[in-house]
Chains A and B, each alone.
Chain A
Amino acid sequence: MKKVVIIHLTPFLLICSIVLCFFVQQNLSVKRENFLKRSDMDYILPSKVTGLAAMEFKGIVSDFLFLKASTFFGGKFIKNETLNAKHADYIYNFSDVITDLDPWFWDAYLFSNMLLTWDFGKIDQANTLLFKAREYRTTDFKVPYHIGFNYFYFLKDNIKGSQYMMEAAKLPGSPTYLASLASRLAMYQNQYKPAILFLEDILKKTRNPILAKQLETRLEALTVMNSLEKKIDAFKKKFGVFPDHLSDLINTGLVESIPDDPYGGKYILLENKRVYTTSKLVYK
């Protein structure tokens, strides 16, 4: 009798357990999400520890850490969450460890460079990582190319920018326009054009959809700013003076309207007659 009861009861208990398991898992997912939100991943073990622990699996561990970092920041971008200085230190330390494990890992250098320069303004940290890349990726034109761009665009040092661009132009596989761009950098001082060229080049080879979306938005904003500055030059040629406001371009018929800033800000004309945006190229 007992045996029969057990035989019939077991499938019933199994079904009940599976249903219970489903609810427990759902509940745990919510709790885990809250747990992860509270314990933001802003730490990483130093490479002296990670390197030893990874033993002969440094390559795959560096891949995993990179995936972890890119997923973390990807989530922040999707939710349009504000990034702070703590995040900048985090991305720097993370990339430093990843590139200690695999010093030739270009994705890690590129990812940290894009974030540290455009999102955090930490050009020195970005360059520190790029100089590390330069030690290992000796024949890769992309490394001096990015260093050169950082010097030119962010640090406003055209001489050094041109120097590194020249170095990049001499390396195999570099784009044909690089040599002429390097020589004309001084001419492009305070212009958005090199940034547009730079972002277009990155975008062409970027497969990550989250990063591609970020780059497209930035490119869109810079293209508008570049085209507005060209109209300002046209205004100067026509009337002999610079416009006081961007609306003057509409009033004189040079543009039909001022496009919307994809970051949610508003394009403005600065006192030095340069076009910028109130969003500072960061989501409002």
Chain B
Amino acid sequence: MIPKMVSLIFLSFKEGVRERALIGIGLFSLFMMGSAFVGVSLFMRDLHKVSVDINLSAITLAGLLLTFFVSINLISKDIDKHTIYCVLSKPFSRSQYIWGKYLGIMLLIVTAFCMLTLCSSVNLFLIKSQYDVYFQTFSWLEFYKAIYSELLMLFLLNAIVLFFSTITTSSFITLLFSLSIYVAGQTIEEVVLFLKTRSAADMALSETINTIIDITQYILPNLSVFDLKVHAAHAIPISYGYLFSITCYSLVYSVVLLLSASIIFNRRELN
């Protein structure tokens, strides 16, 4: 069973590496990181913050672009172009296909993240050596913690993408649903926090709307918990306990989504 899975994982990974969009995404991120060189010189003192902000945003954007343009294609293409029949004619179960695909995509994203982290570290090192005085509060550890948490967010987001791929028939609809969940997941915490404030209490929302928001916050993944970019930019220490919690959150949520996707995909008619 394991060799079968491994071959599926590497198959998905190779398929992803062949995507031309990958080069474009890589170049875009490198360009964005490079812009930090010019960008920081326009600021007064918080040079470490600005360079970390730009570098982490470049890595995050690359991860999101990979998810929304490469991952979605990798999964939906099989169904759209009917190549899934060839794969399923081999001795794989549909569940194995889902898990293999997911892990293959994650391998691709982890590889991309490792390469981007390396480029980003070199970039930050160069900026730091140029403006060393302004990097006194900078911490490499917090910088890498932020990248790790971003990776956890992408684990979850890709599970969402895969889940929607199994229930929809078009890659566009998958993109639309996944993007909506991403936006809602990033903003739900702020909406809930706002509704708890006094100014929101004055708005007197109906009981139904409050209930809907309450239910939504438990169903939707809270993606903002993975955003540690501002903390990394100011070298504010993040506890290992918090990192462990978000790791569990991402893994458990992803497993739930992947198991649901497996069940749905097993029952799906592939005509």
Contact = CB atoms under 8 A, between A and B. Distances in A.
B60 A57 contact: yes
Contacts of A107: 43-46, 49
A56 B223 contact: yes
B30 interface: no
Interface in B206-253: 223-224, 226-227, 229-230, 233-234, 236
Contacts of A48: 194
A67 interface: yes
Interface in B156-180: none
B142 interface: no
B93 to A, nearest CB: 36
Interface of chain A: mostly helix, strand, loop or mixed: helix
Most chain A beta-carbon neighbours within 10 Å: one of B50, B224, B236 = B50
A111 interface: yes
Contacts of A66: 43
A1 interface: no
Interface of chain B: mostly helix, strand, loop or mixed: helix
A207 interface: yes
Contact of A63 (B41, B50, B153, B223): B50
A56 B46 contact: no
Contacts of A193: none
A55 B46 CA distance: 22
B186 interface: yes
A173 to B, nearest CB: 9
A196 interface: no
Contacts of A208: 42-44
B54 interface: yes
Interface residues of A, number: 26
A59 B49 contact: yes
Contacts of A62: 53
B56 A55 contact: no
B245 to A, nearest CB: 18
B191 interface: yes
A51 B259 CA distance: 34
B241 to A, nearest CB: 21
Nearest to A106: B46
Given A107-B46, A110-B44, A52 B53 contact: no
A205 to B, nearest CB: 6
A203 to B, nearest CB: 11
A62 B46 CA distance: 12
A211 B44 contact: yes
Contact of B43 (A56, A63, A205): A63
Contacts of A58: 227, 229-230
B190 to A, nearest CB: 6
Given A52-B187, A55-B224, 6 more contacts: A55-B183, A58-B230, A59-B49, A60-B54, A66-B43, A102-B49
Shortest 9 CB-CB contacts between residues of A and residues of B? A59-B53, A55-B186, A56-B227, A104-B234, A60-B57, A107-B46, A60-B53, A208-B44, A59-B230
Interface of A: 48, 51-52, 55-60, 62-63, 66-67, 70, 102, 104-107, 110-111, 205-208, 211
